[in-house]
A = this chain, B = another copy of it.
Amino acid sequence: MSSQPPHATLLIPGPIEFDDEVLQSMSHYSESHVSPPFVNTFSEVLVMLRKLFQTTDPSAQPFVISGSGTLGWDMVAANLVEPGDEALVLHTGYFADSFADCLETYGVKATQLTAPIGERPQLDDVEKALKEKPYKLITVTHVDTSTGVLSEIKALSELVHRVSPDTLIVIDGVCSVGSEEICFDDWGLDVVLTASQKAIGCPAGLSILMVSGRAIERFEARKTRPTSYFGSWKNWLPIMRNYEAKKPSYFATPSPQLIHALHTSLSQILSRPLSARFADHRAASLKIKKAVTALGLQQLASKPENQANGMTAIYLPEGIAPPDVLPSLVKKGVIFAGGLHKEIATRYIRFGHMGVSVTDAGRGDIERAIGYLEEALGEVGYKVPK
């Protein structure tokens, strides 16, 4: 029985529903950010993140910093590239435009490789692009929250290592870490950046990154100083290393309450095999995608291999707009998100299925949401095609 007051179930692609124990950790009494108990908690968080990202390489470096997923882009742009450097940005929706804008803010030349809405750049096209210029890094949105398109990280990384071995591989995992498999070491990744409030299941307010030893070396060899202060790894690297070694250290004040909540959510995630967690997300996603098809609806992500396991972006039937169904869904007890991709925002809705709503089957969140969606569509005159 949840200790949370009754509320509509939040099934947007982040923030997600949080477990009671995680929310209770948010109320932790006040601690000094340099006290041994807090530093110990922070150390354990960093160690658990290594497990979540499936890295055992001691030269890889986790970072947890107050901010949001977006701050991770700044850290990449300010620490891993220098003004005038070239970056290749793979476009699968809204978030590639923004990451490119961020890179350009720091004087980096960002070239976007696009694909039609609902698709992802093909590996052949990526190979061609990589052969044109020596890109310092390539960025890819693992799951684009605006479209639900899933990128193929493993094959992409193999390609980059083969064709352009000096190009750092940067994954925007804001909407994938915790719901999609990520093998940091095995896949040869350099940065996976994410946030706390999606499949990790901890309230928003933390920027989380895993950075390879190779990327840290690249950072340490840069000729110019990092071009951000709050996001500078020159400032944060010694702090993260000290925290993990349980030594008090200070650059900017972390949020003890959020760190406690992250500790709780990571402990829950790691209490069983990661493979089981990813299988749960795949199973829930399949069930939802089947139901969407049974309702006669299309997804933005048109091919099964392009479809995220933690969210589904659904085209509404002709003549029905998000405001026709979202408010009545809230009244029934479930919150979906509207469209976010500018060109088609008024034509689709987004259904997030990550974390406890998926792993705690007893909640019945997914089944209720599917049922309510069918009801809401019926109420505005939609008839499922026979």
A314 at the interface (CB under 8 A from B): no
Asked if residues B29 and A27 are in contact (CB atoms below 8 Å), the reply is: no
Instruction: Scan A8-29; emit 1 where CB is below 8 A from any B CB, else 0.
Output: 0010101111100001101111
Asked if residues A105 and B228 are in contact (CB atoms below 8 Å), the reply is: yes
Asked if residues A255 and B70 are in contact (CB atoms below 8 Å), the reply is: no
A337 at the interface (CB under 8 A from B): yes
Which residues from chain B contact A143 at a C-beta distance below 8 Å? Answer: none
A74 at the interface (CB under 8 A from B): yes
Distance in angstroms between the alpha carbons of A86 and B34 in the assembled complex? 35
Closest to A203 in B: B257
Instruction: Scan A91-102; emit 1 where CB is below 8 A from any B CB, else 0.
Output: 000000000011
Asked if residues B14 and A253 are in contact (CB atoms below 8 Å), the reply is: yes
Asked if residues A101 and B255 are in contact (CB atoms below 8 Å), the reply is: no
Q: Which of A70-87 contact B (CB under 8 A)?
A: 70-71, 73-74, 77
The smallest beta-carbon distance between A22 and chain B, in angstroms, is 9
Asked if residues A35 and B229 are in contact (CB atoms below 8 Å), the reply is: no
Asked if residues B68 and A204 are in contact (CB atoms below 8 Å), the reply is: no
Asked if residues A230 and B73 are in contact (CB atoms below 8 Å), the reply is: yes
Which residue of the partner chain, among B5, B70, B229, contacts A252 with CB atoms under 8 Å?
B70
A106 at the interface (CB under 8 A from B): yes
Which residues from chain B contact A254 at a C-beta distance below 8 Å? Answer: 68, 204
Closest to A101 in B: B229
A30 at the interface (CB under 8 A from B): yes
A195 at the interface (CB under 8 A from B): yes
